[in-house]
Amino acid sequence: MTRQLLDLATRDAPVLPRLPPSLGDHGRSAGRPPLAAARSALLEAIRPFGVTTTRRRGAQIFAEGDAAEHWYWLGLGAVQLCSFAEDGRRHITELILPGEFFGFEETGLRTATAEVVRDALVVGFPRERAEAAVDADPRLARALRDIACSRLRAAQARLVRLGSMGAVARVASFLLEMAERARSCDAAPVELPVTRDEIGAYLGLHSETVSRALTALRRRGAIELRARKSIRLLNGAALREGKGARARPGL
Amino acid sequence: MTRQLLDLATRDAPVLPRLPPSLGDHGRSAGRPPLAAARSALLEAIRPFGVTTTRRRGAQIFAEGDAAEHWYWLGLGAVQLCSFAEDGRRHITELILPGEFFGFEETGLRTATAEVVRDALVVGFPRERAEAAVDADPRLARALRDIACSRLRAAQARLVRLGSMGAVARVASFLLEMAERARSCDAAPVELPVTRDEIGAYLGLHSETVSRALTALRRRGAIELRARKSIRLLNGAALREGKGARARPGL
DNA sequence: CGTGCCTTTGAAGCCTATCAACGGTCGTGG
DNA sequence: CCACGACCGTTGATAGGCTTCAAAGGCACG
């Protein structure tokens, strides 16, 4: 894997991993080019300014409070954006997968920390120059706005899930989200870029509870636990059904 | 109140309620004009297309699944953006207060429902024309992007709160947020535009739990319950302290 | 002035956090 | 290549918090 990363990093123009048509296209936006097109357009436009680097798991790309001097694009691996609650608990506000931009949402100081959770290929773009490029082309401005709004909708969808679903339902929801974003539908194994602990930080649960939820889903025949970070979704319907968990049929 | 709304609605150019410098300025973005300036600039630019209307509590401005044909700006009152979980529970993803834009985050179909929770003065802008205006001026594009990113940061902050705080802490956090956004600091009463039920839908709690949390805060001397929808913050420190609730000092 | 809806308070049950222990896996270094 | 150690994952027991079900009072509106 590291080998592969280095190969890519040494090229001037890193190869675009195939971007599935609706990668992370939360909120089925119709009537405008799909999100992947917006990402491609933006990437093409600012690629000349990009500096490609490889980062190992655990590396910090930026920290809360830093000056936001760069935008980033993830080519390979996985990156988490996290904040810390007053009690010190780390909370993951977003998981970045290959092909996605991040770090463009602040204009002053970073409001979150970006950390590599799976060896990554990261391209950084100086913010000033990137913004100038975006200013110069309204289509790029729309693309960037669409990307930001897509993330906003995703965050709001996650708010609903956190607020209204029990532990098993959240985990099931997480698996479906990962499967969809990684394009590995149904019977194909889902490669989880994160540990149980990190899933918990993402879902507002603790690692033990995540583990129990996965066990429950396995016993239910919804999933198969292959390796530590590989899960096969056996029954999408069972996953989706197990979602009205916390309460009885309120309606 | 209705009187006042109608007065405003009959004017061609509705009076801007005073916009506090950092109204809803989540994530202290430095190095760029504050959010209020972005809002003002955008509003001035698209005001010619605006259609001002008054809406009573309970009115629906748009519904999930509708075509997103308009952007909106709230002059007075309060509007909630809500989604519905599979079990039928309504969940409020965002509370819109006077001076804020909403409904600009979708390019295709609405992903949430907008409902008036407090008699409101709403200005609607045809999306096509508004986008054209934004396309024509990079400063406006930046302004709109800043607004969207600000909401993204706010949603992420709320994710952290939902995931890591107990009921009392969430309610305390909500009160502080409302106080800050409404600019009525500390000893001034906070006018809550919503019912206990709606606070619950916003915080992922039930109305009974919200009620109990408010009672707990009152007994603690942190707040004073005046009228049903008016609360006086007596002790901001006590509110902020009661926030590390759910767990023991994880660190 | 009556009727709803909102709010408050109580009691019981479920779910998740917490504390604890163990087995397994992965990475590191010899 | 193997051995060691640290970390991750699983499972159990217990406790606490929130939901749920239930009932009564109060404020607002017609």
Under an 8 A CB cutoff, do A107 and B243 touch?
no
Nucleotide nearest to A169 (CA to C1'): C15
Sole residue written with tokens 């029990």: A166
Q: How confident is the model at residue A33, as a pLDDT? A: 76
- Using the Cβ of B136 and the Cβ atoms of chain A, whether some distance falls under 8 Å is answered with yes
* B184 CB less than 7 Å from any atom of strand C: no
Range with the poorest average pLDDT among A17-21, A233-237, B100-104, B137-141: A17-21
Distant-in-sequence, close-in-space partners of B199: CB < 8 Å, separation ≥ 6: B171, B174, B192, B205, B207, B210
The reported pLDDT for the residue numbered A246 is 53
Choose between A1 and B47: higher pLDDT: B47
Res. B132: pLDDT tops 80: yes
pLDDT reported for residue A196: 96
A241 shares contact with chain B (CB less than 8 Å): no
pLDDT at B122 over 80: yes
Q: Average model confidence (pLDDT) for chain A?
A: 85
Which stretch of A235-244, B75-84, B90-99, B232-241 has the lowest confidence by average pLDDT? Answer: A235-244
Q: Which residues of B touch A83 (CB under 8 A)?
A: 156-157, 160
pLDDT value of position B11? 37
pLDDT of residue B246: 53
pLDDT of residue A182: 81
What are the angstrom distances between the C-alpha of B204 and each of A93, B90, B245?
A: 17, 10, 16
What is the band of A62 on the pLDDT scale with cuts at 50, 70, 90? very high
- Tell me which of A20-29, A77-86, A138-147 is least confident: A20-29
pLDDT computed for residue A113 by the predictor: 96
In 3D space, the residue among A26, A17, A40, A30 whose CA is nearest the CA of residue A148 turns out to be A26
Return the higher-pLDDT residue of A181 and A115: A115
Q: What CA–CA distances, in Å, run from B220 to A186, B35, B234, B238?
A: 51, 35, 10, 8
Q: Provide the pLDDT confidence category of residue A187 given band limits of 50, 70 and 90.
A: low
* Paired tokens of A11: 């090229």
Q: What's the pLDDT band for B206 if we cut at 50, 70, 90?
A: very high
CA distance to A78, A161, A172, B30, B31, per residue, from A206 (Å): 21, 16, 15, 35, 38
The chain-wide mean pLDDT, for chain B, equals: 84
How many Cβ pairs closer than 8 A exist between chain A and B?
Answer: 181
CA atoms within 13 A on the CB side of B73: 27
**What pLDDT was estimated at residue A27?**
46
Least confident of A64-73, A162-171, B27-36, B200-209: B27-36
Which residues of chain A are within 8 Å of residue B28 when distances are taken between CB atoms?
108-109
Given pLDDT bands bounded at 50, 70 and 90, which one contains residue B30? low
Dmax (CA) of chain A = 57
Q: Is the pLDDT of residue B249 over 50?
A: no
Interatomic distance A25 CA / C11 C1' (Å): 46
pLDDT tens figures, B33-89: 789 999 999 999 999 999 999 999 999 999 999 999 999 999 999 999 999 887 778
Among A187, A207, A11, A1, which Cα is nearest to A92's?
A207
Q: Give the closest-approach CA distance of A198 to chain B in angstroms.
A: 13
pLDDT value at residue B31: 63
Q: Spell out residues with C-beta < 7 A from strand D.
A: A 195-197, 207-208, 210-212, 214-215, 225, 228-229, 246-248, 250; B 166-168, 204-206, 208-209, 212, 227-228, 245-246
Least-confidence region, from A24-33, A134-143, B56-65: A24-33
Which of A170-174, A217-221, B8-12, B232-236 is predicted least confidently? B8-12
- The larger pLDDT score, comparing residue A32 to residue A147, is at A147
Compute the average pLDDT of residues B98-119: 95
The 3 state secondary structure assigned to chain A is CHHHHHHHHCCCCCCCCCCCCCCCCCCCCCCCCCHHHHHHHHHHHHHHHCEEEEECCCCEEECCCCECCEEEEEEEEEEEEEEECCCCCEEEEEEECCCCEECCCCCCECCCEEEEEEEEEEEEEEHHHHHHHHHHCHHHHHHHHHHHHHHHHHHHHHHHHHHHCCHHHHHHHHHHHHHHHCCCCCCCEEECCCCHHHHHHHHCCCHHHHHHHHHHHHHCCCEEECCCCEEEECCHHHHHHCCCCCCCCCC
pLDDT for the residue B238? 81
A113 CA to C18 C1' distance (Å): 27
Give counts: helices (H), strands (E), chain B: 8, 9
pLDDT of residue B104: 97
Helix, strand, or coil here: B120?
strand
End-to-end CA distance of chain B: 49
pTM of the model: 0.87
CA distance A9 to chain B (A): 30
